[in-house]
Structure 1
């Protein structure tokens, strides 16, 4: 499994997998790493909330909406 963060233009600015990861050097230099950490924290909290939802999958409705 791999986690990626894209900027608004769709460029990968951070990624991590069990084997390797990367942060674009320019984003480490300009302090954007703090924004990346905030987004990861928010996503983690949302995943925890989603974990508590009942699993009711019907037809093409494969994704839950929070």
Structure 2
């Protein structure tokens, strides 16, 4: 399975921007559920960092098996 660095960067940026938008709107709104929405934004931020690392580790594992 070949995963390019461009794919990893696009994956990170897309999820990070989605998380940033969700977190931003949860901070400016005064709803009762703004804390829950902010938590979802925080989880997405962590996921945006974790997922490219996992994909890159999978890429390195597959690369080592081929060689």
Instruction: Determine if the TM-score, normalized by the shorter chain, exceeds 0.5.
Output: no
Q: Which has the higher strand share?
A: 1
Could you tell me the TM-score, scaled by structure 1's length? Answer: 0.37
TM-score by length of 2: 0.37
Q: Which has the higher helix share?
A: 2
Return the index of the structure with the highest Cα Rg.
2
Higher RCO structure, 1 or 2 (CA under 8 Å, sep 6+)? 2
